[in-house]
Amino acid sequence: MRKNAIVLALLATTFMLSACSPTPSKSWSGYVEGEYLYISSPLGGRIESLNVQAGQDVAQNAALFSLDKEAEIANVEEATARAKAAKAQALNTEKGKRQEEIAVNRAQLASAEAQAALAQHELQRQQQLLAQGFISKAKIDDATTNLKLTQARVNELKAALAVASLPARVDERAAANANALAAEQVLRQSHWRGKQKTEMAPQAGLISDVFFRAGEVVSPGQPVLSLLPPGNVKFRFYVPEAELATIHAGDSVTVQCDACAAPIIATVTRIASQAEYTPPVIYSNAQRAKLMFLIEARPDPAVAKQMHPGQPIDVKLSKATTPVAEKKS
């Protein structure tokens, strides 16, 4: 009886230790996944040139493809002409009349002044004749009226000459400047549309696939090719619920694959917040628990270039990572 009690006590102790410190599996199964960039143009059109092919490495800002942009070139030329016209109209409101027009106004003023002087002399002559009794007072009234008319004409032309040197009214100038600014923005939009017909690589990476060929027509936003930057390669693996406490975001894991010359170190970046059942296809011959948690880890981009999406991997905690149970002890 005493011997059985000792055995039961040992078994109970073992069970309690195993419950507090879950022992991780030798490795967890998973695969390599890529977050592809699907490169498209916001504008549709016919593919004029395709500068890359599947499997090719490209540098950042390398030309990928270009669409026919004859219509955009015509729009730029039209917008340029309209912008020049609007700017010229705005500048014109800042100026007075041309010198030739001002010269005409001055000549008219000189003529009016001469007529006013002549009317003044005529009035004086009529006044002398009235004093001698040769004419009636009605003649004086006519001469006085004529003098007033010629003087009014002189004042009118002086005012016109002063106005001829002034720019347009403030409101007219503001409207002209606003039209010029609007025309410049239309030109800017035309330039932008023309640039969208040529797509550059947003990042360095591998051309994974090309979906169209030169001469084919694509719709706006329709991907022409897919690009996989090294930084978008990650590892996805599944950890049983009982072993979840042994791994945390920021931990280092060691990744091995059939084609890997040496183990790869990756950093855990995500732990799924919800459990899921073991996927129907998993790269392992070992029996897995049904309830699993998805874990994602990212390697160094320089190493990630050697990996291929879909490639099966085995993952285990790096020696540099200490499980929680060991830290508590």
How confident is the model over 295-329, as pLDDT tens digits?
999 999 888 888 899 999 999 998 654 444 344 43
CATH number for 85-188 (one of 3.40.50.2300, 1.10.287.470, 3.40.50.800, 3.40.50.300): it is 1.10.287.470
Name the phi and psi angles at 305, rounded to 5: -60, -20
Q: CATH 1.10.287.470 in the chain, residues?
A: 85-188
Q: What span, in angstroms and rounded, lies between the C-alpha atoms of 65 and 70?
A: 16
Q: CATH 2.40.50.100 in the chain, residues?
A: 38-69+197-227
Q: Which fold has domain 38-69+197-227?
A: OB fold (Dihydrolipoamide Acetyltransferase, E2P) (2.40.50)
- What pLDDT shows up at residue 8? 39
- In sequence order, which residues have a C-beta less than 8 Å from that of residue 187 and are 6 or more positions away? 76, 79, 80, 82, 83
CA-nearest of 193, 233, 241, 216 to 42 is 193
Per-residue pLDDT of the chain (329 residues; tens, 9 = 90+): 444 444 334 334 433 444 444 444 468 999 999 999 999 999 999 999 999 999 999 999 999 999 998 888 899 999 999 999 988 888 888 877 777 877 888 888 889 889 989 989 888 888 888 788 777 888 888 888 988 998 898 898 888 877 777 777 788 888 888 999 999 999 999 999 999 999 999 999 999 999 999 999 999 999 999 999 999 999 999 998 888 889 999 999 999 998 888 899 999 999 998 887 665 555 454 544 567 889 999 999 888 888 899 999 999 998 654 444 344 43
Burial class of residue 21 (count of CB atoms within 10 Å of its CB; 0-12, 13-18, 19+):
middle
* CATH architecture entry for 23-35+230-328: Beta Barrel (2.40)
Contact assessment for residue 262 and residue 230, using Cβ atoms and an 8 Å cutoff: no
Q: CATH 2.40.30.170 in the chain, residues?
A: 23-35+230-328
